[in-house]
Chain A
Amino acid sequence: SQKIEQNSEALNIQEGKTATLTCNYTNYSPAYLQWYRQDPGRGPVFLLLIRENEKEKRKERLKVTFDTTLKQSLFHITASQPADSATYLCALAGSSASKIIFGSGTRLSIRP
């Protein structure tokens, strides 16, 4: 069955450093991969989308890479800030984008 794995352990980073989160998947060939941010008790908020034919996508301090050979995406936050502390979710979708499945998320804490 399709499976998405994200860092199960919480990630603690010093402010100003780069945070790197990992998303691995199996038994799936997604056409699109997305990253969301979720704060406690709130709905997720979309951050970035990358297509299968794209290697890298950037948005301000965020960078996503997508390696379909390794079946892995890396999500980077540069110059991290305490306000970046949240849970980050990886999501995959097929070519029709009709069914979107999520990983379990990685909790990121940025300490001052």
Chain B
Amino acid sequence: DGGITQSPKYLFRKEGQNVTLSCEQNLNHDAMYWYRQDPGQGLRLIYYSQIVNDFQKGDIAEGYSVSREKKESFPLTVTSAQKNPTAFYLCASSIFGRPGELFFGEGSRLTVL
């Protein structure tokens, strides 16, 4: 079945450590996105990528980095520079240029101890 897989589902890290969240899709979608969601709040855009080897900053890119070396993969690294990294992270994909829906993964919950 086609879909988006995020891993790990839960992650704990100590302050000062970088952590990478995985996002893989087999929908053959061009565009991929990373959002952050804090309790009781909506989704805020971190980074998005429309094609391989290209990506753009969203509204809250500081302290995060991404890469898009393959069409099906869009990993997000939460660096130690991110001041408040504890959150629920959601990856999504869509067909670029079409106003179609975003397909979301099940999310990764990161807790910084």
Contact = CB atoms under 8 A, between A and B. Distances in A.
A89 interface: yes
B35 interface: yes
Contacts of A6: 42
Interface stretch (B14-22, B63-71, B78-86, B103-111): B103-111
B74 interface: no
A49 B99 contact: yes
A44 interface: yes
A93 B101 contact: no
B31 A98 contact: yes
B103 A97 contact: no
Interface string A80-106: 000000000101010011111111110
Main secondary structure of the interface of A (DSSP, over half): strand
B96 A100 contact: no
Contacts of A105: 41-42
A101 B103 CA distance: 14
Contact of B102 (A31, A46, A51): A46
Contact of A98 (B35, B43, B48): B48
B90 interface: yes
7 closest A-B pairs by beta carbon, nearest first, are A46-B101, A43-B104, A104-B42, A102-B43, A32-B99, A102-B42, A97-B99
13 contacts: A6-B42, A31-B99, A32-B99, A36-B101, A42-B106, A46-B103, A49-B99, A93-B99, A97-B100, A98-B96, A101-B59, A104-B40, A105-B41
